[in-house]
Structure 1
């Protein structure tokens, strides 16, 4: 799963097996009732789910680790091989699927969108960052330049700095960019312009990519996790100091997953 994107039917089979085990009856040859859909069970515990893994999303989060390595370790042999074959003139963030791609590359390339969602450039001297198609602006929702101009092609962020490299060239920025991009660029502080540009993962405090944070980002984007609501009923329930079996029974009762007379009549 760290190298290949598993077919959807395979991940569905894995999920069905886990669900059967969870809801299965202890009696032989008796099928247990599935009281809740798998998608609801994969929701975060804070919004009524059980936090089971969505195996497709988990597969993508693992694959994104390979794409992140292409970005942060470009001198590794495997990074150099893939770069020579699929993104000669850029990096992984600006790559395309290409013609006749291998199954490994097709799998890793599927992780592109989430890598773009969490990857950010910390601007130093600006020599490593392309103005276009690179996440370097100070906008959390869209860190990419939205102004369309042929003058940006193959130009680096360093070309937007003044001659002394002490700050931005305000006149150039106001002439070339729209209002939104101007505000994002000027708000960036250039403190260490003598240092090299650094790529970091914005979803971790350490700046390093983790499968856990990538999977969490996917679930938040889908609205399946709501980890910021500290006042939710579910969070209060899971904080109760009780044996796991008791909490599981309470969760089933609150979720309507108990085989009561009323539930069985529905």
Structure 2
């Protein structure tokens, strides 16, 4: 999440970096096998974890799971966390610890970014009481609106508009560059969200 702009950034890359604080604030890790999530660094609980004195804070979530039974290691939770954090952790279901951990949008039930929820997150980041007092940077508002209404000039969109361009993503070449691919699915985008997991 601390990736830099570079010397010749594309529009999508510049926009992605401009909006990363918004994505960081509105996202949460969904626990699968727990291997990608640091207990004390990543955003995976509704509240920051509270540790007991002397507890090991440098664990992965995977260390808290009995993977054979797919259950939380309750004795370890009790030895490591304060009671409120234990309750937060035990509310997380562990139905499939063979699945990968993934980021999801936590601001609505559909787990999809919308203009409304993204705008609410920006207001929260700015500490503003309402839209009339908003000091949101225009480029962030513009990017969020274009991304949520699916009108960013991705290669797939340009191709559909008869622009002489190949639709596949130039970074990975695996799939057409849609908004979803550029922001979430492309390996480069995934790396952006994973560069500094301590901030998510």
Structure number, greater radius of gyration: 1
Higher relative contact order (CA 8 A, sep 6+): 2
Q: Which has the higher helix share?
A: 1
